[in-house]
Structure 1
Amino acid sequence: MVAALTRRALVSLPVLAVALSSCTATGSDRSGIVVTTNILGDLVRNVVGDQTEVTVLMAAGADPHSFGVSAQQAASLERAELLVHNGLGLEEGVLSHIEAATASGVPGLAVGEHVDPIEYGADESAGQPDPHFWTDPVRVGEAVAIIADHVIEHVAGLDAERVRAGADAYRSQVDDLHERTAELFSRIPDEHRKLVTNHHVFGYLAERYGFEVIGAVIPSGSTLASPSGSDLKDLADAVAASGVPVVFADSSQPERLIAAMADETGLDIAIVPLFTESLTEPGQGAGTYLEMAASNAEAIAEGLAPR
């Protein structure tokens, strides 16, 4: 009886091994592109069109610093032909899944690492890489070309010429966005080119268009941090000294943090909401990257215009 059971167990081992091996997709079993953030998802879809399935993990309005994925979404990462993510520490809640997928052989593209990233210059995040490259349209244009290269290399069955044409057409729109943004900001006097935000998100925009970042309500590059009373007091002193008329805050939380600063310091300052970390649903102001960036440029130009 024992011998018979042993023989059955030995026969079942190959079946078990096959079942276990099927949990991790091989190259031939993979299909489509998985993208972490909705901003990058918009870029990828403009590059590939309808030639392959593009799965975007981050829902509209979500915070890339804190969003997580379901078990089904995590599994989709390991079935992708290409995984496109921001990198530079942005997707904090998904990083372990990204690492697991790339370790299993999924080709990965950390877009932010390829567009000449800068470092945070002050506060808690000083010296760390700044992941918010999308606030600079010039770098976004570079990202579009990089995405096209990786799509052609790793995704089977695509028409490379169509991919190149889609990337070129979209990059032309991004170039136009940059020109319009530069023209808008040229109307702001140098002494008014000062930014205060709810957290450090506009370093790339400031570098590209000649702004000075005075500070942030949350002295960090992540929305997961929290300001202390002394942080708020230091920022209020800097704002008062600079004469900045507005604080720019993410549209998902424009009042909460600025109200905290007012309570701590008594500083009365206008709040201008921007779309900083995520696209919205269509029709809500930032349904695409181009719409988001144009809306922000107009709001900044209006908020800092001479009174």
Structure 2
Amino acid sequence: MVAVFTRRASLALSLFAAAALSGCAAFESDRSGIVVTTNILGDITQNIVGDQAEVTVLMQADADPHSFGVSAQQAASLEQAELLVHNGLGLEEGVIGHVEAAVASGVPALAVGEGVDPIDYTADATAGQPDPHFWTDPVRVRDAVDLIADQVIEQVSGVDAERIRANADEYAAQIDELHEHTTELFDRIPQERRKLVTNHHVFGYLAERYDFAIIGAVIPSGTTLASPSASDLKDLADAVAESGVPVVFADSSQPDLLVRAMAEETDVDIEIVPLFTESLTRPGEGAGTYLEMARSNAESIAEGLGDE
């Protein structure tokens, strides 16, 4: 509890300092709207804001949050925003410089991941580093809704606070339903089959929330920008063979050649199941919203690991 309080207190102080700097800027009145870095947070924020303010999302559908970049015009929009919402915890590697520049210029910024009781990676080269993939845990997303709503009300001029609160409550209720549905699905998976192998370390929060064991990842890192060595693949193949894992989950937007290469090392029949892990898709392609993405993943995991 102390650690959580400290993180949230630090987050609040950072926002206060940014707001104070913004208030001192001569061009504060020129700021407008909300800019969000990732499309997952963009969808969450848009559900909270509704028609109360303009929300600009920088990351396109099917992009990689670790590597996506922004145009000069988008970079400029960061420094003109009334509120910048970003994931934090090292996720947005391709735009962190622009985020830091906006904060330095006085833009109030909310690093959502830092305010939802983040955990650290526990395996491979990333062990001990903060894990940014909090959205795989609906309970933490529920907390994120309150954080975002609070800052929209505090930082964005002209919004109706009651409307923002009502939007946030309505959306939070849908997330609560998602959590209940996910719990019911996962409760059907026998304990001995509650084991995850993924293309990279992205499901730590899900594993903690729903009591899964993470056997390993094809890319032994928390970022898709890393690459595995031959020995990494061999070590994981050995672990998979020993554990009897029947399924490897790969991101739907990334080639599964490495996953298949690893599977070929095990001398057992392993199914490759695609999941939507780090980006929303275009509407109608399976993960057009956060709720659709999370529900689809839960159903795919439950089907892949359920009794044969």
Provide the TM-score with structure 2 as the length reference.
0.90
Moved more, 145-154 or 251-260: 251-260
* Corresponding position of 1:277: 278
Task: Return the index of the structure with the highest Cα Rg.
Answer: 1
Is 1:212 the equivalent of 2:207?
no
Q: Where do 5+ consecutive residues of structure 2 fail to align?
A: 1-24
Summarize the alignment of residues 141-180 of structure 1 with structure 2, pairs less than 5 Å apart: 141-180=142-181
SS of residue paired to 1:188: coil
Would you say how many aligned residue pairs link Structure 1 and Structure 2?
Answer: 284
* Corresponding position of 1:294: 295
* Corresponding position of 2:122: 121
Asked if the contact 1:254–1:271 (Cα under 8 Å) also holds between the matched residues in 2, the reply is no
How far did residue 260 of structure 1 move? Answer: 2.6
State the alpha-carbon separation in 2 of the partners of residues 25 and 53 from structure 1: 22
Once the two structures are superposed, what CA deviation does each residue of 1:256-290 show, in whole Å capped at 9, x if it has no partner?
22123245555541100000000000000000000
* Corresponding position of 1:68: 69
Asked if the contact 2:40–2:279 (Cα under 8 Å) also holds between the matched residues in 1, the reply is yes
Displaced runs of 4 or more, over 3 A? 262-268
Asked if the contact 1:250–1:273 (Cα under 8 Å) also holds between the matched residues in 2, the reply is yes
* Corresponding position of 2:5: none
Is 1:38 the equivalent of 2:46?
no
Provide the TM-score with structure 1 as the length reference.
0.91
Moved more, 183-192 or 261-270: 261-270
* Corresponding position of 1:21: none
Asked if the contact 2:237–2:265 (Cα under 8 Å) also holds between the matched residues in 1, the reply is no
Summarize the alignment of residues 86-235 of structure 1 with structure 2, pairs less than 5 Å apart: 86-235=87-236
SS of residue paired to 1:153: helix
How far did residue 27 of structure 1 move? Answer: 1.5
SS of residue paired to 1:244: coil
State the alpha-carbon separation in 1 of the partners of residues 195 and 218 from structure 2: 14
Q: Percent identity?
A: 78
How far did residue 228 of structure 1 move? Answer: 0.4
Distance 1:298 1:275, change over 3 A: same
State the alpha-carbon separation in 2 of the partners of residues 25 and 141 from structure 1: 36
Q: Where do 5+ consecutive residues of structure 1 fail to align?
A: 1-23
Asked if the contact 1:60–1:280 (Cα under 8 Å) also holds between the matched residues in 2, the reply is yes
- CA-based RMSD of the aligned residues comes to 1.2
SS of residue paired to 2:199: strand
Is 1:304 the equivalent of 2:305?
yes
Asked if the contact 1:254–1:273 (Cα under 8 Å) also holds between the matched residues in 2, the reply is no
Corresponding letter in the other structure for 2:138: P
Distance 1:190 1:156, change over 3 A: same
Distance 1:77 1:84, change over 3 A: same
Once the two structures are superposed, what CA deviation does each residue of 1:32-87 show, in whole Å capped at 9, x if it has no partner?
00000000000100001011110000000000000000000000000000000000
* Corresponding position of 1:29: 30
Asked if the contact 1:184–1:298 (Cα under 8 Å) also holds between the matched residues in 2, the reply is yes
